[in-house]
């Protein structure tokens, strides 16, 4: 039963408006492709590696096909038609391409589907392995403790991640190197240099997954691995995550648009394909609404978070994600000097919990109002942890009292883990006893935010989501649909376009 007494008709109206706002974007994604989607198809078909200069073969092949015959018909038909005469896919960079027709197109499509199906079968096998290991090692009870590792060196990340797991972390996130989201290629191999993070590569995924499997066996509980499927290579990184059995991926429909100035059309097309991969792989996505509150006021903009979550839910469902894979994000970012700030936080967190009862919600700690006073910061993190327990959040990202001062030391992480362990242990099942007073401050605040969300979604549905984004509705940042990075990588599909990956994924066994 709702602790907030939310009106089911108002909630249903919000979802209807979100669906109406999302539909033109879904149609855009269905009828267009991008260079990264086509590169992901090649990766599923088994193409990997890079040339002597570090340029991935998938980039070189896609660029060669696009230069000769375009990508309006997809990469699969011209590549698998050309493979009749080339045994090694790397030879394709100098091949002559054509778009086959008739019987030749049927044969090329058949060979492409068989190759891509082998990649998807590997993703299926990894999902089965995860289920087996969860049964073997055990799955920790929520809220899961989520901790970030970010040294830049994968071989330094591994022991830190294992140590964090031993201290109680349930989810390890290897944050990406600054700026990787703006690279239109995925680096190859194990990397030892990064900037405020470690490059997302297939080999780095493999190494960290093996390390966490090892510590999972030691601890008797499955430790999840998270990375970032955002930016210009979102479909490819999602594919690599599925191929290497990652468990969660940051994958928001608007984060790259608002905070990385990636073209809106490119982002929405890429995110649909990436979410289809995540759905098949059993990966939980994490959305990025918490970031809106770093640029906008957490009270005034609370309804934009809810609106974005409802849009993310609609986009996710259409791509095949279940509620159990929707790690919708929100954050504890209200100015602590504001009277009743904790009550406001509880109202917002409980509202999200009740709107999405089956979603593994990801709750983010305070960052914007961490002042450098580590004692006040540690106390604020404790209040955040308490709010997470009281409102039944599923995933709690560990807050650091040195946020904004320096990259956390190991001792900082130990203290942060001690903080959340204490709160979880002391509070126990306190959520059972948390019942806001009917008509009281918390209930009325939650209802007001929901009403403002309905009003906003009504305007977005009428004016168009791309127009709303261009006007700075989300995160107070204006991003027009004809601007931003990556627009030149968007291609409208022609009649006869063929993508064996989407064909298989949309069959949804």
Bridge partners (DSSP) of residue 491 are 33
Contact residues for 117 (Cβ-Cβ < 8 A; gap 6+):
500, 504
At CB < 8 A and 24+ separation, what contacts does 369-375 make?
369/333, 369/335, 369/336, 369/337, 370/401, 370/403, 370/404, 372/404, 372/405, 374/401, 374/402, 374/405, 375/401
Contact residues for 118 (Cβ-Cβ < 8 A; gap 6+):
45, 46
Contact residues for 314 (Cβ-Cβ < 8 A; gap 6+):
15, 18, 19, 22
CA 284 vs. chain centroid, Å, equals: 8
C-alpha–C-alpha distance, residues 410 and 387, integer Å: 25
* DSSP code at position 227: E
Among candidate residues 3, 222, 247, 362, the one labeled active-site is 362
Helices 264-281 + 35-44 axis angle, to 10:
20
Q: Residue 146: which of 226, 231, 217 has the closest Cα?
A: 226
Residue with tokens 């470690």, as numbered in its chain: 198
Residue environment code for 360-395, b if the CB has 16+ CB neighbours within 10 A, otherwise e: bbbbbbbbbbbeeebeebbebbbbbbbbbbbbbbbb
- Are the beta carbons of 239 and 44 closer than 8 angstroms? yes
C-alpha–C-alpha distance, residues 140 and 173, integer Å: 17
| E strand map for 298-435 | 326-327, 329-331, 362-364, 395-397
Q: Catalytic annotation on 255?
A: yes
Bridge partners (DSSP) of residue 145 are 396
C-alpha–C-alpha distance, residues 494 and 313, integer Å: 29
Write out 154-205 in H/E/C secondary structure: HHHHHHHHHHHHHCCCCEEEECCCCCHHHCCCCCCCCCCCCCCCCCCCHHHH
C-alpha–C-alpha distance, residues 282 and 248, integer Å: 9
For the chain, how big is the Rg over CA atoms in Å?
23
- Are the beta carbons of 350 and 391 closer than 8 angstroms? yes
C-alpha–C-alpha distance, residues 227 and 237, integer Å: 9
C-alpha–C-alpha distance, residues 505 and 147, integer Å: 31
Q: What are phi and psi of 351, to 5 degrees?
A: -60, -45
Helices 234-243 + 202-219 axis angle, to 10:
40
User: Token digits for 10?
Assistant: 């108002």
Among candidate residues 146, 228, 255, 498, the one labeled active-site is 255
Among candidate residues 170, 290, 381, 412, the one labeled active-site is 290
Q: Show which residues are catalytic.
A: 255, 290, 362
């Amino acid at each position: 039963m709702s602790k907030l007494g939310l009106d089911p008709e108002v909630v249903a109206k919000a979802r209807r408006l979100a669906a109406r706002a999302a539909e033109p974007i879904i149609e855009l994604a269905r009828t267009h492709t991008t260079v990264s989607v086509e590169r992901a198809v090649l990766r599923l078909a088994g193409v990997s590696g890079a040339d002597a200069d570090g340029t991935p073969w998938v980039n070189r092949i896609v660029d060669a096909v696009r230069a000769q015959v375009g990508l309006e018909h997809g990469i699969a038909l011209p590549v698998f038609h050309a493979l009749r005469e080339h045994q090694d896919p790397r030879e394709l960079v100098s091949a002559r391409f054509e778009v086959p027709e008739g019987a030749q197109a049927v044969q090329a499509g058949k060979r492409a589907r068989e190759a891509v199906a082998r990649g998807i079968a590997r993703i299926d096998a990894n999902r089965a392995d995860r289920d087996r290991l969860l049964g073997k090692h055990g799955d920790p009870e929520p809220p899961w403790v989520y901790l970030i590792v970010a040294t830049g060196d994968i071989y330094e990340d591994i022991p830190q991640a294992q140590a964090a797991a031993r201290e109680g972390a349930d989810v390890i996130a290897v944050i990406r190197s600054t700026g990787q989201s703006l690279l239109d290629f995925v680096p190859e191999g194990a990397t030892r240099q990064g900037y405020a993070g470690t490059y997302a590569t297939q080999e780095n995924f493999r190494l960290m997954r093996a390390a966490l499997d090892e510590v999972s066996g030691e601890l008797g509980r499955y430790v999840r691995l998270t990375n970032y499927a955002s930016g210009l290579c979102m479909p490819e990184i999602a594919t690599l995550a599925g191929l290497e059995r990652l468990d969660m991926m940051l994958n928001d429909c608007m984060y790259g648009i608002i905070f990385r100035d990636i073209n809106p059309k490119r982002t929405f097309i890429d995110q649909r394909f990436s979410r289809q991969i995540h759905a098949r792989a059993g990966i939980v996505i994490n959305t990025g609404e918490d970031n809106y509150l770093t640029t906008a006021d957490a009270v005034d903009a609370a309804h934009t978070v809810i609106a974005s979550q409802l849009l993310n839910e609609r986009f996710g469902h259409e791509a095949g994600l279940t509620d159990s894979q929707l790690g919708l994000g929100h954050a504890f970012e209200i100015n602590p000097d504001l009277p009743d700030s904790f009550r406001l936080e509880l109202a917002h967190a409980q509202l999200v919990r009740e709107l999405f009862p089956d979603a593994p919600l990801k709750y983010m700690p305070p960052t914007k109002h961490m002042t450098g006073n580590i004692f006040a910061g540690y106390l604020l993190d404790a209040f955040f942890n308490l709010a997470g327990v009281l409102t039944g959040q599923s995933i709690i990202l560990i807050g650091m009292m040195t946020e904004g001062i320096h990259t956390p030391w190991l001792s900082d992480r130990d203290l942060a883990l001690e903080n959340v362990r204490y709160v979880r242990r002391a509070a126990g099942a306190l959520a059972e006893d948390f019942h806001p007073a009917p008509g009281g401050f918390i209930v009325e605040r939650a209802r007001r935010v929901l009403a403002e969300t309905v009003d906003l979604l009504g305007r977005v549905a009428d004016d168009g989501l791309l127009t709303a984004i261009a006007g700075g509705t989300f995160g107070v940042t204006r991003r027009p649909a004809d601007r931003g990075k990556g627009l030149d990588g968007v291609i409208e599909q022609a009649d006869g376009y063929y993508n064996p990956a989407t064909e298989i994924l949309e069959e949804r066994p």
